Amino acid sequence: TIRKFYNLKLVRTIPDIYRLNYNLIKNIPGFGPKSVENLKNAIEESKKRPLYRLIYGLGIRYVGEVTAKTLASAVKCIDDLKDFTITDLIKLPDVGDKVASEIYNFFHNQQNLKMIQELRDLGVKTCHEEEEKKGKLAGLNFVFTGTLKCCSREKAKEIVESLGGNVLDTVSKKVHYLVVGEEPGSKLQKAQKLGTVKIINEEEFLKLIGGENAE
């Protein structure tokens, strides 16, 4: 849909999505009143999405969903990221030199800052409420290895994030807990070698989360 709007020169930038002329769209073949209404509602709803979705949607090079969540958890408002040095960014989980440089450059580009201001003026949420960061696992980073009996890896990730924690893909000194299931992989050996990661089994993990929706 966005590609079609781009080809019709209705959309050229991200803020243009929130300036769409719905009366014009009604005249485009394939767009009836109902589909236009659905589109309008979806775009309006997107203004309220969590901060990490906005960061992810900006298309910063090398910044996927996991890194976007890491960045969102480190700030109250997206503008705060322009105050981060490359050294500050590297200290964040899953952010290496290359990724840090791309993030730093993005938030020190005046055109990008202008775009963020436009999004804010158009009603897009650029800050998140403090309560979104709270939870019994707030500030803690987890990695999983092996198979869990209680739930799928994706479900375990959802639980951790709902309690304020982060789930990372690799073991490093930034990780607080490695949760070990059946037939663990090389992450276990790496965590043992590091010596800074707390290694827990599935039962200990379930106690830690308080049995939150593990079924």
Q: What percent of the chain has pLDDT over 70?
A: 95
Q: Which residues pair with 147 in a beta bridge?
A: 182
Residue 192, both tokens: 């043992």
Which residues does residue 143 pair with via DSSP β-bridges, in sequence order? 178
Check whether residue 179 and residue 153 sit in a common domain.
yes
Within 163-210, residue ranges assigned H as helices are 186-194, 202-209
pTM flag (> 0.85)? no
Judged against a pLDDT cut of 50, whether residue 131 lies above it is answered with no
Distance CA 111, CA 107 (A): 9
129 within a domain of the structure (yes/no): no
Kindly state whether residues 43 and 69 are assigned to the same domain: no
pLDDT at 6: 83
Local confidence band at 214 (pLDDT 50, 70, 90 cut-offs): low
Average pLDDT, the chain: 91
| Residue 133 in domain | no
118 and 55 together in one domain: yes
Is 186 contained in some domain? yes
Residue 214 in any domain: the answer is no
192 and 156 inside one domain: yes
What CATH code is carried by the domain that includes residue 98?
1.10.150.20
**CA–CA separation, 133 vs 69, rounded Å?**
11
Greater pLDDT, 4 or 144: 144
Integer Cα distance of 80 and 71 in angstroms: 10
Beta carbons within 8 Å of 176's beta carbon, 6+ residues apart: 140, 141, 142, 197, 198
In a domain, 161, yes or no: yes
DSSP three-state, residue 84? coil
Helix (H, G, I), strand (E, B), or coil: what is residue 213? coil
Final residue of a structural domain among 16, 31, 47: 47
> ∠53-56-57 over CA atoms, to 5°?
85
User: 170-197: per-residue pLDDT in tens?
Assistant: 999 889 999 999 999 999 999 999 999 9
Amino acid 134: pLDDT: 61
* pLDDT value at residue 212: 54
**What is the tally of structural domains in the chain?**
3
Tens digit of pLDDT for each residue in 7-32? 888 899 999 999 999 998 988 888 88
Q: H helices within 63-169, ranges in order?
A: 65-74, 86-90, 97-106, 110-121, 153-162
In tens, the pLDDT along 150-173 reads: 999 999 999 998 898 889 989 998
Structural domain range at position 75: 51-122
| Residue 202 pLDDT greater than 80, yes or no | yes
